[in-house]
Structure 1
Amino acid sequence: MSKINTPYSKIKIVLAILFFLCLLDMPYGFFMFVRFAALVGFGILAYKASEKDDKTEMIIFGALALLFQPFFKITLGREMWNIVDVIVSGWLIYSVLKNRSFVTGKFK
């Protein structure tokens, strides 16, 4: 199975898409859904990273789960959240594609 088709890569791609959708003018309920989805998704990714003994990724995903969690909201303002959404989305997409060989079109 190629690395892009793993369930964990799919979680990253779905989260990246959700964060990019947050840049649009969406109803408040959508943003709450994204917060819950991010909490669950980043929690799963942090757990998987801890199973692989990848402490760096575990800390990053754990911190992102805390940043996006919906229970104790961190108020950054719309513009700052847009910046965070773009940075996190870009990093998630990069982390999915970093193992892909663009020269051969095959996965490592």
Structure 2
Amino acid sequence: MFFAVTFLAATLFRSEHTALAASFVFMIFYPVATLFPPLNRYPLNIHHIMSGFAMPYFDARHALLVGPPPWALLVSMMAMAGVLIGLAVQVVRHRDYS
């Protein structure tokens, strides 16, 4: 997701500094936004999913998987990343680089 957002920002903004700032703001505010209702009811924080923090499928004390990973959530995040990359590709196609 982070790569897809950064790639889209790089295609939308002309300045590399603006794209960097937009990506940085997303990377800071995305995890913060998942802490507030109604998003806090769902395990949407990608940092927690990657680390296993407070996830029912991971026993942090023993560092073992104790249940199935959240495949539906992982697939939906991959799909969203694919959509964002597809949007970035469409933006690049419509630009005139001649």
Q: Counting strand residues as a fraction of each chain, which structure ranks higher?
A: 2
User: Which structure has the bigger radius of gyration?
Assistant: 2
Would you say same fold, with TM above 0.5? Answer: no
TM-score class normalised by the smaller sequence: 0.3 to 0.5
TM-score, scaled to structure 2: 0.36
